[in-house]
Structure 1
Amino acid sequence: MTITSHGEELILDEERALYLPKYSLLAISDLHLGKSAHFRKAGVQVPATIAQSDLERLSLLLQKYNPQTLLINGDMFHHGLNSDIVEFTTWRKQFSKVKFLLVKGNHDRLENTDYAKMNIDIHEPSYCLAPFCFIHDAPQNTRAELYPISGHIHPGVSIKGKAKQRLKFPCFYFGRDYAVLPAFSTFTGLYNIYPKTDERIFAVTPNRVVEV
């Protein structure tokens, strides 16, 4: 789905990604690579294919949009170095021509030398491209010159189905003061968003992005 925000064209992709054609930039948030391996190490039975699936989805997005830059808007890696991150390091080599930027989130705890080895540029606390500023956890009640685009909360929205059941989907939120991207990883919960007047919600359904 293509929308206009602050005079700029944005593409909301059903794979929980945002594309800015003007900047040839693909943005995702909350990739949480390493989360499944971290849980398995702690003895929790979590499928080993979660990270592989998320990287396959990301590969398709990079092939689809062919961006110059991939921006991860926080929580790229869930914890310390583990097997999922080793797998990412190998995967990264397929896209050596794409610039990877990371706006650090609360789970991004690796050393800067670790990111450098994976050819990832670090930005703290934000990365700005007027009229937007990407930041992992948007400040509340802000009236900043640039419109913040955040992540962190894993936004979701509930929709009533035809059988009057409540269906919950990840969503893009465009509020008065800031926007929130859906969590890219499928291994996350959802925090329900309740929009105010003149705010926009776009649900990520299995087939397409729809405004609700």
Structure 2
Amino acid sequence: MEALTIDLNGHALVLSAERAAFDPHLKTLLIADAHFGKDAVFRARGIPVPVGTTGESLARLDSLIAMHRPESVVFLGDLLHARESHADETLAALAAWRAKHRELALVLVEGNHDRHAGALPAAFGVDVVKEPHRRGPWALCHHPQTVDGAYALAGHEHPVYRLATRIDSVRLPCFRFAARAGVLPAFGAFTGGFEVNGDARGEALYVIAGERVFPLSDRSKSTIAAS
């Protein structure tokens, strides 16, 4: 998977095709809207969906950790999807992942789904904080917003961009950055998306297509520091 480093208000931020961002100065990996256990929620509510989306997401998280070697991971809300996410198979997968990464500090900026899902057991060692959570130049949030004296990074929206021809179209996850706040794509493998076409004028957009992140607009291109 490729990554693209941009300059965001004078600070480097690495955008990954794995739908995450990394601050190389703070050595912090940022993950929005993992929605772990969403497949278990659907099955518990009588909707037959395949098993394994949580495992797929955790494998991508492993790849990001191997690539960036972070000291901490901050989840920008909606770590779990709902109370049924506490199903045995989901908790077992999360526990096995945590056992491999005991050295990592984990922080959850509480989102709307987290309040309904309930906290993970204390043994997982996740520090739950309220938004905005200040870290370096960032105000880390779940809900998109502006914060005085910091650049806000959030999730919640699951932004996607629709690329279309006369006969076909595709919805691609994207990063969107305005003057004072930005939104990361949903990390989870089993999430929908909010189309930002026509709603992102004046913003820098970075679209994920396969294993690449590429700038969609001239403003995006002007913010690239290196690739």
- Is the partner of 1:100 in helix, strand or coil? strand
Residue of structure 2 equivalent to 1:60:
63
Amino acid at match of 2:41: H
CA contact (8 A) 1:115 1:121 kept: no
Taking structure 2 as the reference length, what is the TM-score of the superposition? 0.86
Question: Alpha carbons of 1:143 and 1:53: their partners in 2 closer, same or farther (altered >3 Å)?
Answer: closer
- Mapped to 2, the partners of 1:164 and 1:174 lie a distance apart of 30
Aligned match of 2:100? 94
Q: CA deviation at 1:131?
A: 1.8
Counterpart check, 1:157 vs 2:176 = no
**What aligned pairs does 1:66-85 form with structure 2 within 5 A after superposition?**
66-80=69-83, 81-82=86-87, 83-85=89-91
| Residues in 2 aligned to 1:115 and 1:180: alpha-carbon distance in whole angstroms | 28
Uncovered stretches (5+) of structure 2, i.e. residues with no partner:
217-227
Q: How many residues align?
A: 207
Q: Name the residue aligned to 1:146.
A: 150
Q: CA deviation at 1:188?
A: 0.8
CA contact (8 A) 1:36 1:50 kept: yes
Report the CA distance between 1:115 and its aligned residue.
4.5
* 1:118 partnered with 2:124: yes
Shift of 1:46: 0.9
CA–CA distance in structure 1, aligned partners of residues 93 and 5 of structure 2: 33
Mapped contact 2:139–2:147 kept (Cα < 8 A): no
Secondary structure of the structure 2 residue equivalent to 1:108: helix
Aligned counterpart for 2:191 among listed residues 188, 192, 210? 188
Tell me the C-alpha RMSD between the 2 structures: 1.6
* 1:77-119 per-position Cα deviation (integer Å, ceiling 9, x unaligned): 111221313320222110000111110101113555x342211
